[in-house]
Amino acid sequence: MGVDWYNSIARRNGGYKSDAKFLIKGVSAENIFEKELINMLPNYSHVLDAGCGHGDFTIKMSPFAKSIIGFDNSIEMIKIAQSYQLDRSNLEFVYATTKEELPFKDEQFDFIYDRRGPTSILNHSRILRSKGTIFGIHSGALDIVKERLDHNGFKNIEIREYKDAKIIFPNQEEFIKFLSNIPGNPNYAEEHMKEEFEIRINENTINGIIQLKEYKYIWKAIKP
């Protein structure tokens, strides 16, 4: 998906966020990732959040980090993040894209985390110190992540898949909100998307309950 989609979401929703109501039944990989990240952050001096969006998660993690920089390729997202930076001396937001050379020094960071951000951060290993850690969670492109980890020489690679959790929606309206804010998806609330939305409803309704299977994987590796 292009950066225009993220910019439009930033303008429409005030950031990459959704007010969709739902329940998660089962073990959520997102919760596991967040708990493990919080435990890891104090062990590192210079942390990078790759693909920080509008910055709310970066801000949430900042009390656990000595120094943390969040970057994103959407200028609209970064504007929102910078607007509520809260004068925290250990926190900074930067506009940057992995499609170009990143504006960071060689070996500037000893820890990089990628929470559904650009997997192409793996192609910029020069900014990670030797013995530094990279840690991420995604819902797709597992083969690409594996290839990039291997191609860029990362070691001690760990990958854990989670596919048993279900996302349960109380009604169609909440399902529309959720789907419309998935990266790359259209706005299913628009009239011309009505037929396509009906297809999605039929595909994901079981015994009268609207639900989606949650598939995500957590990965971690070390730079030699």
> Distance between CA atoms of 132 and 102, rounded to whole angstroms?
17
The CATH number of the domain covering residues in 27-163+216-222: 3.40.50.150
φ/ψ of 149, rounded to 5, equals -60, -45
Q: pLDDT (tens digit, 9 = 90+) per residue, 171-202?
A: 999 999 999 888 778 889 999 999 999 999 99
SS (H, E, C) 85-136: CCCCCCEEEEECCCCCCCCCCCCCEEEEEEECCCHHHHHHHHHEEEEEEEEE
Pairing of strands 109-115, 128-138: parallel
Q: pLDDT (tens digit, 9 = 90+) per residue, 71-110?
A: 999 999 999 999 986 778 899 999 999 999 999 999 999 9
Domain boundaries in the chain? 27-163+216-222
Structure tokens at 164: 């048993």
Tell me, what's the pLDDT at 84?
82
Q: pLDDT (tens digit, 9 = 90+) per residue, 140-166?
A: 899 999 999 999 999 999 999 999 999
